[in-house]
Structure 1
Amino acid sequence: MSLETTISDAIKDAMRAKDKLALDALRAVKSQVLLLKTEAKDAEVSDEQVIAILQRMIKQRKDSYDQFMAQNRTDLAEVEDAQSKVIAKYLPAQLSPEELEVELKKIISETAADGMKDLGKVMGIASKALAGKSDGKSISTMAKQLLS
């Protein structure tokens, strides 16, 4: 079953359960998926594309959370945090820092990277290989530590 179908089923479940928070978050995801389909003029959207949408939406909600907390608007911040947790349920399992380090060491050895000058090469491969499993910021931070 595709990730898009899983999200559609989750919307139905949230409707039945009258879970407004989950319903709002999942409808936003569905909206972004439909926008992508319309722009691409494609009937099918791959799971990788949906994962990219999910990651982008989580990042947006975390940014909003930080802004609301800076303005002492905890009521709005809590909504953003809760929605990001709902959306995160549909991402693949995230790599732990130790697992991320192991994967990056493999990539570094495969590319024969030997310093910060090769960061771009490592990041290009790592971003594609670890898409959905870790966010770009974590990958970048760990890659910089390993290459320096």
Structure 2
Amino acid sequence: MSINEQLNSDLKASMKAKDKIKLGVIRGLKSQITNAKVDNNNEDLTDEQVGQIVLKEIKQIKESIAEFKKGNRDDLVADQEEKLKLTEVYAPAQMSEEEVSKVVSETISEVGAESMADFGKVMGAIMPKVKGQADGSVINKLVKEHLQS
């Protein structure tokens, strides 16, 4: 079942169950998907494109949580964490940190990187390989660790 089909199915279920939080999350995702579809000349989006939209939403929620924590708004943090859990259900499968570390090592060898000066070259080579499968901050951290050692 595609992400879009899953969203439609869960939308109906959450409407029947009167789950307002889940309904809001799903409607928000569907709205972003519709906007992307319009930007794509009304052509259907691939699962990969829909996955990118979901990952972008997850990133925004995580940023909101960080900002609310800085502002000591625990009530809003709890709301956003609930929203994050519901949104992560639709995210494409992510690589483990060990798998990302292996890709980082291979890429560093491929491009012949030796120091932090080669950081941009390594990141540029890695990102297309793991697009949508790993968080950029994790990749960034691992590349720095590998280049510093």
Normalising by structure 1, we get a TM-score of 0.89
Counterpart residue number, 1:146: 146
**Separation in 2 of the partners of 1:128 and 1:51?**
15
Deviation at 1:18? 2.0
Deviation at 1:131? 1.9
**Separation in 1 of the partners of 2:46 and 2:67?**
32
SS in 2 for 1:104: helix
**Separation in 2 of the partners of 1:47 and 1:118?**
33
Counterpart residue number, 1:129: 129
Counterpart residue number, 1:101: 101
Unpaired stretches in structure 2, ≥5 consecutive residues? none
SS in 2 for 1:114: coil
Deviation at 1:77? 1.4
Give the 5 Å matches for 1:1-148: 1-148=1-148
Q: How many residues align?
A: 148
**Separation in 1 of the partners of 2:14 and 2:129?**
33
Matched residue type, 2:41? K
**Separation in 2 of the partners of 1:19 and 1:12?**
10
**Separation in 2 of the partners of 1:147 and 1:132?**
23
Matched residue type, 1:105? S
Matched residue type, 1:2? S
Deviation at 1:64? 1.3
Normalising by structure 2, we get a TM-score of 0.88
**Separation in 1 of the partners of 2:42 and 2:121?**
31
TM-aligned CA distance change 1:12 to 1:125, over 3 Å: farther
Unpaired stretches in structure 1, ≥5 consecutive residues? none
Identity among equivalent pairs (%): 36
Matched residue type, 2:141? T
**Separation in 2 of the partners of 1:48 and 1:115?**
33
SS in 2 for 1:31: helix
Greater mean deviation of Cα atoms: 32-41 or 15-24 = 15-24
SS in 2 for 1:72: coil
**Separation in 1 of the partners of 2:131 and 2:105?**
16
SS in 2 for 1:5: helix
Matched residue type, 2:74? T
Matched residue type, 2:89? K
